[in-house]
Amino acid sequence: MWGHNSKLLAKLVILNSLVILFVILLAGLSVKDYACFLVNSEQVTGQLLVSSLNGFLFKISIVAFLIVGLFHYFTVKKILRPIKQLSEAAKKMKEGHPPEKVDSSASGELQELIDNFNSMAETIYSVQEQREEMLKDIAHELRTPLTNINGYLEGLQNEVIDGDPELFGSLLEESRRITRIVELLTELNSWSHGTYFFEKQFDSVEVDKVMTETFTAFKWKLENLSAIQMNLEPAEILGNADGLRQVFTNLIQNFLDYRTQGDLTVTGKKTETHYVISFTHHGQYIDPEKKDLIFERFYRVDEARSTKSDGAGLGLAIAKSIISAHKGTIGLTTDGTEHHFQIEFPLHQA
């Protein structure tokens, strides 16, 4: 471990060794040459020679110290420049400024540190943008029901309108819509932080049975549709049954809300390492270039649904978070009207 992450230390050791070697060579060779000059040319010997050499050694040491000190200063400054850049960037982040990417020609563990810092800065910036976007979406979602409630209550207060069961029912529906949005956000936040932060019980689950039970709960909504086909191979995964049930519920509800035909084909097949689930149906148009957006918070295929009490635009976002917590993946393939959702869960290895 030490040898793998010691390039910076090695550079400093080599640099200091070279500096010491240079000082020794400069002083030694200078003193030798000066001694030869005094003895051979000036015929200086005895105590006078010793005194002359001591004085010369002191002077050459000062000169060597100044030369080597400047060389050492500028060299170390160049080596440590990336660390100073990292420090300045971290200080700006601490003060609340947008994180900046650090560019450097460093190598070894310094470059690894810089790359990790840049990745961290990008992640922080992305999370900050997502948080701001989410706050805007939440404000947008809550504005309509709160405006309606405030309008009704002001009308009641000013005796412009009279209270009746229909009015109170409307107020109750708006209040329930706000409650549903808050509950969905709480559920999304829970699964988005992963199972390590929340006490989600994961056990061996027969995923095909959970899916069958979920479809049974929708039996009365699906019984009038023309073509529902299911072909599920039995398989076990390590998961949370309630979370999986929520995923399948959201996918079925998404089908019911956006279908243009009554066809739905559901398959579940095992590979060597994964269980692959497919939902295929015809639905409202989805731009193939924007297909990944449907898993984002508050995104809707039909923006007109934003004024309704249902459809908060969180169902598929919650499903994605739950699947990610199960170490699985979800994706969509579409030509615009025929949609193919595919989920992959790792099989549970006993």
How do residues 68-117 score in pLDDT, each as one tens digit? Answer: 777 777 777 777 777 777 788 778 777 777 666 777 666 666 777 778 87
Q: Where are the alpha helices (DSSP H) in 95-206?
A: 108-157, 165-192
Range 165-188 average pLDDT: 77
Q: What pLDDT score was predicted for residue 5?
A: 45
How do residues 54-68 score in pLDDT, each as one tens digit? Answer: 777 777 777 777 777
Beta carbons within 8 Å of 222's beta carbon, 6+ residues apart: 215, 228, 252, 256, 264
Instruction: Give Dmax (Cα) for the chain.
Output: 125
Buried/exposed code over 282-294 (b: 16+ C-beta within 10 A; e: otherwise): ebeebeeeeeeeb
Fill in the DSSP letter of residue 269: E
Compute the mean pLDDT over every residue in the chain, rounded to the nearest whole number.
Answer: 77
26 or 114, higher pLDDT = 114
Q: What pLDDT score was predicted for residue 145?
A: 78
Tell me: pLDDT of 30 over 90: no
pTM of the model: 0.56
Q: Which helix (H) or strand (E) holds 206?
A: strand 203-206
Distance between CA 63 and CA 140 in Å, rounded? 73
- Beta carbons of 30 and 59 less than 8 angstroms apart: no
